[in-house]
Structure 1
């Protein structure tokens, strides 16, 4: 039996959809959204009807071309801590993402869209897989310094776990026998430490290096003073400062690293300084995770869209090559990772969990 799987990934500037037969891609389409276009949507939830319409159009064409689907799988949003692997999308999850979650993230709308497509097209299953709030932290990694505010795990888990499995396979070893430090370099930058098959420590995109469109970790007192000075009183306005209006975009007016490198090549010293600072911060937080395993890592892995940049990865490797061999896996590989996860569930090698949360 061949399983037909629809894959949906909502990113900060794109909506991607693909059709897979089992674990083989048949067709993929990407709808790009410019920053200027998205400015008319103050909050991520406001984008839901627009992205839902795009997804519905693609789904309708796919059903006409390929017939009924067995499952739809979407990138998971910012949920309470969850396990690695798959979860059935249910009304509890959708309610949480739309009405409870206060954090702005593009992936928050993906499960909502998938849930509606499942209903409309009578698809038997709708899943998320390796959601960004996958949490397997060791107890020592949860201590934040504020007793009633433990650290949480929010990372690009989907791409990082898939890349870790790939790297281990290429090394001729089992994933569970390897220790990897992985940096996902994209619109947001997050990192994770993989040990004995678990993600035991992380650097979230709100505590680590700044990135093309996010502020990363900040000096807390300075940040509080800044938000007061700018009269940012609404929670979502405060989060907008951290996600969307900062990073490369805040300094240089673009979140496109290719454009930044063109600026550097043309002699723009500000662009050179900011880009170098981003590379330095990435390297510093990789070293941060290395301390958790006393520097004993099998590899440092750079993945995500920015890993295509030789200028950036060369500078990072120059600074952290002493820790472990550096391996490059450019691209985000998220569509393939989602499809393969759904296929493992449908074929019976994994089971999907049921999402619940305490109100």
Structure 2
């Protein structure tokens, strides 16, 4: 009986797996951790396909879950061309774009690829929901001072959308009726302005825009970056690593473990406290900027992501921005549930099923 849904969410050093029944109950889940040295063996993300697939097969086998009982599969979406929010059928064109990774290498690219492989051999469908390239930006938010460069929308779309819906429910309105500012704080930080169900402006947390974060540089004076590029000290991969991967908190303190950073700050380490407080100041400033993008009409501000578990972090931001709107905290991320619910709505005909072209 095909009454189960498999959800696959590949991260940089982990693969999250959940199995839901069609009533919405999560019956099994696991986070499979991959040692950095294991991942380092692969030159490209696509090369990890068999390695990750084996982990998923072992999970299903050890929990006595047969692929024959799967109704459909949902994978986390990756670096595709800009698309609208919603559920998308995994098709040949999508797989082609993810495998060549023309728009960027990211572990999430594997979500749709692995989901499709399992779906194909069981004659069922595979879907993705709200990938990181969801693009609903207002036209005025796209321009930069370089005609050759346009701002692009790359952010924690899946979790931001899910949290915005929770915030709307919390204050008693529909997501499509209100205006929200959602800040996802993790290894990277994205702050989005949600107007009536669309993210009309958001910083590109992958490519060095917005606040500094544990692993990313954030907005930095452009001329100084150009000078570094031409200093002869760094090649292109090293500069890019300084922007995302080894930038931000890591570059200043030699660690991106925010538990350590907060602990040291509370213990009186002035350098750690200055860097941490600077990050929180910049997040607050970004929230303020997004309130302007919403013409000052904000129903609620919500903080989410792994860093939202730490009161020092959320309280610092709250003290600076609660004058704008009601302040809410939704710690962690509920991406597996969001992937499942998004796909179910579309499969049951309550939301569109989109075809990638």
Q: TM-score, normalised by structure 2?
A: 0.91
Output one character per residue of 1:245-304: Cα deviation in whole Å (capped at 9) or x when no partner.
Answer: 222223223222112222223432222111111111111111111111232211111011
- Larger deviation: 31-40 or 82-91? 31-40
Alignment of 1:231 with 2:234, yes or no, is yes
Which structure 2 residues correspond to residues 32-47 of structure 1 after superposition, within 5 A?
A: 32-35=33-36, 38-41=39-42, 43-47=44-48
- In structure 2, the CA distance between the partners of 1:210 and 1:13, relative to structure 1 (3 Å rule), is farther
Report what 1:265 is aligned to: 266
CA distance in 2, matches of 1:230, 1:117: 46
Output one character per residue of 1:96-145: Cα deviation in whole Å (capped at 9) or x when no partner.
Answer: 1221424232212222222222234x151111101111111111112222
- In structure 2, the CA distance between the partners of 1:65 and 1:2, relative to structure 1 (3 Å rule), is closer
- In structure 2, the CA distance between the partners of 1:155 and 1:302, relative to structure 1 (3 Å rule), is same
Which structure 2 residues correspond to residues 168-183 of structure 1 after superposition, within 5 A?
A: 168-183=168-183
- Larger deviation: 111-120 or 181-190? 111-120
Mapped contact 1:12–1:187 kept (Cα < 8 A): no
Alignment of 1:98 with 2:99, yes or no, is yes
CA distance in 2, matches of 1:354, 1:114: 16
Report what 1:244 is aligned to: 245
Mapped contact 2:347–2:353 kept (Cα < 8 A): no
Mapped contact 1:63–1:69 kept (Cα < 8 A): no
Mapped contact 2:213–2:279 kept (Cα < 8 A): yes
- Larger deviation: 40-49 or 144-153? 40-49
- In structure 2, the CA distance between the partners of 1:346 and 1:35, relative to structure 1 (3 Å rule), is same
Structure 1 residue 60 displacement after superposition: 4.1
Output one character per residue of 1:135-182: Cα deviation in whole Å (capped at 9) or x when no partner.
Answer: 111111122222232222111111111111111112111111111011
CA distance in 2, matches of 1:89, 1:79: 12
Report what 1:315 is aligned to: 316
Q: Which runs of 5+ in 1 are unaligned?
A: none
> Number of paired residues?
353
Q: TM-score, normalised by structure 1?
A: 0.91
Report what 1:298 is aligned to: 299
Report what 1:211 is aligned to: 213
CA distance in 2, matches of 1:40, 1:259: 29
User: Structure 1: which 4+ aligned runs deviate by more than 6 Å?
Assistant: none
Report what 1:160 is aligned to: 160
Q: Which runs of 5+ in 2 are unaligned?
A: none
Report what 2:202 is aligned to: 202
RMSD over aligned Cα atoms: 2.2
Report what 2:114 is aligned to: 113
Report what 2:148 is aligned to: 148
Report what 1:8 is aligned to: 8
Structure 1 residue 79 displacement after superposition: 1.1
Structure 1 residue 318 displacement after superposition: 1.4
- Where 2:329 maps in the other structure, the secondary structure is strand
- In structure 2, the CA distance between the partners of 1:13 and 1:256, relative to structure 1 (3 Å rule), is farther
